[in-house]
Amino acid sequence: MTMTASQALRAPRIPEGSRARAAAFFDLDGTLIPGSAAVPLARAAFRAGMVTPPELVRDLRHGVSFLLQGANDERSEAVRDRILTAVTGRTTEEMVALSEGFIPDLVASITPAMNRVLGEHAAAGRDRIVVSASPTEIVSRVAAAAGLERGTGTTSELDADGRYTGRLDGPFCYGAGKAEVLRALAAEQGYDLSASYAYSDSLSDLPMLEAVGHPVAVNPEPDLRDLAEERGWPIVETSRVPRVSVSDPHSWVRMGQRLTVASIGSLIALGTRPIEALGGIDGDSEDDAPTGGDPDGSAAAAA
């Protein structure tokens, strides 16, 4: 059921007197931000001489594919392996330096809908945690720059001199590995996962979504959209352009229908609210009429 960002926060309140400590876990690529953090990282690595021109072109092509279709196991593993290879023998300071130029842009690209979700979780007293397949050095800095409580990702092994070995130190923070990282963090910080939230755009994050009591699909790729609808999970739209599956004609039909509705709505709005109608394709409005959730459309975050 599609709903506004605030409606997705509706859930049974934790019983009075409960000591449960809830958190909200967020995927990064395609969930908090429209695209992939691997793209600006690849550009920065190329400028630093850590990535070859063919690898840069491949990463940019994958970034476009991700924007339209979502995550892919093979591509995600390939990006992981290239990062591990590129940083071997280098220091964490060099990795952090790569991010100096693009972290502010990543934070600025957090969609309006998800900024509202982040704000409501903060108001409810929940820690907000970014969990991503990207390097922990990048994810933690994105979270800090966005004012969130934590950020964690894929952690690379360091040798005695503080240089990357080219191996992982812990699980690849993707798929089942992301759920493993989430559970370890919950155990460390004392989060009650049954009272916690998880947000993702990709079916690859199903283990993470199933690990919490309140999973939410965000502008989901086709397979996750179908599953969310089947299970009655909230769906938050952050873009008027849905993901499509090249092999599934139904998803192309769905995209055509949504683009048509959006175009008609914009034409109507131009007659009365031209500034709002020209506001861009990303984000939603708290005043949008919901197609699911409570009929009054009021925003009520769980405590």
- Catalytic machinery residues: 27, 29
Instruction: Identify the CA nearest to 234 among candidates 24, 11, 68, 70.
Output: 11
